[in-house]
Chains A and B, each alone.
Chain A
């Protein structure tokens, strides 16, 4: 099955400093997050919250159900990811999203200069 060519890579950061400050690209934000270690902290926070609200258990249950249906030896990680991704993304509680967004915004505000 041939797929369409992947989307073009995001443009590299421009040298224009003003534009950088106003519209940091996703890549830049990602780099900042990783280098400061904030991304790991956010991941840990997310893990904790998803565990508390039972999301992880729900996903496990979905995976188990799928595996039982297809047979243990016929399931790959990619299949599971494929199956639970839509439901997983949709069922993240709004409070968790809000909390993470708040953290990210706070982080960006604190590192902006």
Chain B
């Protein structure tokens, strides 16, 4: 006859157990029942004569290293370590009838002669009963009367914490290995020796051919190709050019609808990150952009910054004409371009007569900064000094800090400085109901993911009908903290400790992201206004690379620091993966 334990057919019953049962009456383990102790925290059952008993092997006094078994016949405790020695086995073999023992820490029956566990219905029932009693007695919150070991109520802190799983890196199994090999191109990794030896450059570096004064486009493209959120978006297939074009073609039958700058961007990303190192010609993209910005369509040199702005607009127009999404760029939900670059500027205009302040918010995709042409002057119409007595900040500071060198921080500080609007620019004060002289101050309400700073090096004066370029050197940091230029900081410094008349929603939108940024791309301009050249410096894996149209070379960071920055791209530090070693190089 086969008996079942937990639904499984049990093995042959142990002869020693049968023998023991037959010789010791109907309840052979009765004495053990009193010794069953259920131990918190886990609710596991153990056998102890006294609750605080420390069992030891009767032969060798061992109490910690081996399992301990108590002979159910004579209650003597022995150790049992199958690999080393077993005094329990010695005992079992030396005295007949003493083969059955119980594991003192687990309350499980064991036949020491055969070295195997045995099961007795009555004994197990008694253990389970003891555990159940313990469980219901100790739990106050949980109503479960689990018939298992774990007790819900009296768990110590480390068990109440949410289960954490240790990280183990994923390794493909053999099936996945094969499917990987069949359908993928080799990546630049350490195992692929031929690719590694041929180039030391990191992933995604590829020269762009100049198609006729298109260095303005190439330089911006290089910067965008390595803008982390943008790169992740396109490489993550968030805008699939095959799917999108079909969609566009299906909705509007006209030819113009086939134009999608985002699709062309996607094509460039695929080409540049393909691993092919030969220079790429972004002709399709150029053509698409010409169609979008017809006015700039020529082979003349264009302004890189103008190109940047028009490109973002192009992506915004063509991507997601989804009515459900808000079309306002400030929210950043409209398209990837604005999601990455769009921030919000706050402008406060204060009437100098009555103090009434009018506040407006405007979205922006970049910040254009004035360069001081000479000492003492300012690109803005009138030099700025804050008139508010509480503003302890630098009103008397010389425009040039650091011993005469212009810095990016200096420009930002100037940008957010309170500025007196001249008498020819009187602002209409709502309280006074007349135009009054006013004080205007800019600040940043919401930081974008990527901050683009544009240095106004090209001055076009309509009065004198001439343009000139400002070559003045600007020092820019590799790490930038935008905290001092946030609205909260600016306003706090204006009003000091007093309660300031905030809008209710001034709880910084930028609180959820940090204010620290890392530089990753610099677009530089060299030469004259009418005959110049754009070059982009990219920072990858803490190395700097010069992207001069089709030529990409690794350069020392001192070269970058000395370059004439025209547009600087900073990304939120949390999105910037600063690797300490080069990928794929030995």
- Measured between beta carbons, the chain A residues less than 8 angstroms from B84 are 6
Residues of A in contact, count (CB < 8 Å):
32
B43 to chain A, nearest CB (A): 9
Q: Is the interface of B mostly helix, strand, loop or mixed?
A: loop
- Most chain B CB within 10 A, of A6, A40, A41, is at A6
B285 at the interface (CB under 8 A from A): no
Q: For A9, what are the chain B residues with a Cβ–Cβ distance below 8 Å?
A: 60-62
Question: In B96-141, which residues have CB < 8 Å from any A CB?
Answer: 110, 114-117
Are A35 and B115 in contact, with the CB atoms below 8 A?
Answer: no
Interface string of A33-70 (1 = CB under 8 A from B): 01101001101110110001110000000000000000
Closest to B115 in A: A78
Cβ of A19 < 8 Å from any Cβ of B?
no
Contact A43 B42 (CB under 8 A): yes
In the complex, whether B156 has a CB less than 8 A from a CB of chain A is: yes
- Chain A residues lying within 8 Å of B168, measured Cβ to Cβ, are 53-54
Q: Does A77 contact B (CB under 8 A)?
A: yes
Of A40, A52, A73, which one neighbours B163 at CB under 8 angstroms? Answer: A52
Q: How far is the CB of A28 from chain B (nearest CB, A)?
A: 10
Within 8 A of B (CB), among A61-113: 72-73, 76-79, 81-82, 85, 93, 95
* Alpha-carbon gap, A35 to B295, bound state (A): 87
Q: Are B110 and A77 in contact (CB under 8 A)?
A: yes
- Residue of B41, B52, B64, B158 near A35 (CB, 8 A) is B52
Q: How far is the CA of A35 from the CA of B84 in the complex (A)?
A: 27
Decide yes or no whether B85 CB sits under 8 A from chain A: yes
Contact B42 A35 (CB under 8 A): no
Instruction: Give the residues in chain B near A10, CB-CB below 8 Å.
Output: 61
A48 partner residues in chain B, CB cutoff 8 A: 158-159
For residue A3, give the distance in angstroms from its CB to the closest CB of chain B: 6
Number of interface residues of B (CB under 8 A): 33
B residues less than 8 Å from A43 (CB atoms): 42, 44
Smallest Cβ-Cβ distance to A33: which chain B residue: B64
Q: Do B156 and A30 touch across chains, with their CB atoms under 8 A apart?
A: no
Contact of A77 among B61, B83, B116 (CB under 8 A): B116
Contact B63 A78 (CB under 8 A): no
Residues of A within 8 A of B64 (CB): 26-27, 30
User: A76 and B42: CB pair below 8 A?
Assistant: no
If A35-B54, A40-B39, A44-B41 touch, whether A27 touches B61 (CB-CB below 8 Å) is yes
Q: Which chain B positions have C-beta within 8 A of A78?
A: 82, 115-116
B165 touches A76 (CB 8 A): no
**Docked complex Cα distance between A45 and B168 (Å):** 20
The answer to whether B52 touches A52, judged by C-beta atoms less than 8 angstroms apart, is no
Residues of A within 8 A of B116 (CB): 76-78
For window 464-480 of chain B, which residues contact chain A by CB distance below 8 Å? none
Expressed in whole angstroms, the Cα–Cα distance for A30 and B54 within the complex equals 9
Q: Which of B12, B87, B166 contacts A53 (CB 8 A)?
A: B166
Within 8 Å CB of B158, what residues of A? 45, 48
In the assembled complex, the Cα of A45 lies from the Cα of B83 at a distance in Å of 26
Q: What is the distance, in angstroms, from A64's C-beta to the closest C-beta of chain B?
A: 13
Asked if B12 and A73 make an inter-chain contact with CB atoms under 8 angstroms apart, the answer reads: yes
Q: Kindly state whether residue B11 has any CB partner on chain A within 8 Å.
A: yes
Chain B residues 165-179 with CB under 8 Å of chain A are: 165-166, 168
Nearest-CB distance from A72 to chain B (Å)?
7
Q: How far is B41's CA from A26's CA once the two chains are assembled, in angstroms?
A: 24
Shortest CB-to-CB span from A90 to chain B, Å, is 14
Contact present for A79 and B12 (CB under 8 Å): no
- Whether B238 is near chain A, meaning CB under 8 Å from some CB there, is no
Whether a CB of chain A sits under 8 angstroms from the CB of B164 is yes
**Residue on A nearest B156 in the bound complex, by CB:** A41
* B40: A residues at CB distance < 8 A: 40
Name the distance in Å between B171's Cβ and chain A's nearest Cβ: 14
Decide: A44 and B60 in contact? CB cutoff 8 A. Answer: no
**Contacts A41-B156, A79-B115: A27 and B42 contacting too (C-beta < 8 A)?**
no
Indicate the member of B52, B159, B164, B166 with the most A CB atoms within 10 Å.
Answer: B166
In the complex formed, the residue of A with least CB distance to B116 is: A76
Q: Is the CB of B11 within 8 A of A47?
A: no
A44–B63 Cα distance when bound, in Å, is 19
Cβ of A3: which chain B residues have Cβ within 8 Å of it? 85
Chain B residues with CB under 8 A of A53: 165-166, 168
Partner of B11, one of A41, A45, A72: A72
- 9 closest Cβ contacts across the A-B interface? A78-B115, A76-B116, A30-B64, A78-B82, A44-B42, A9-B61, A53-B166, A6-B85, A77-B117
23 A-B contacts (beta carbon < 8 Å): A6-B60, A6-B85, A6-B87, A10-B61, A27-B64, A30-B63, A31-B54, A31-B63, A34-B54, A40-B41, A52-B165, A53-B165, A72-B11, A73-B12, A76-B115, A77-B110, A77-B116, A78-B116, A79-B115, A82-B82, A85-B83, A93-B166, A95-B166
Q: Which residues of A contact B (CB under 8 A)?
A: 3, 6, 9-10, 26-27, 30-31, 34-35, 37, 40-41, 43-45, 47-48, 52-54, 72-73, 76-79, 81-82, 85, 93, 95
Q: A40-B42, A44-B41, A52-B164 are in contact. List 13 more A-B contacts (CB 8 A).
A: A6-B84, A27-B61, A27-B63, A34-B52, A40-B41, A40-B44, A43-B44, A54-B168, A73-B11, A77-B116, A78-B116, A81-B83, A82-B83
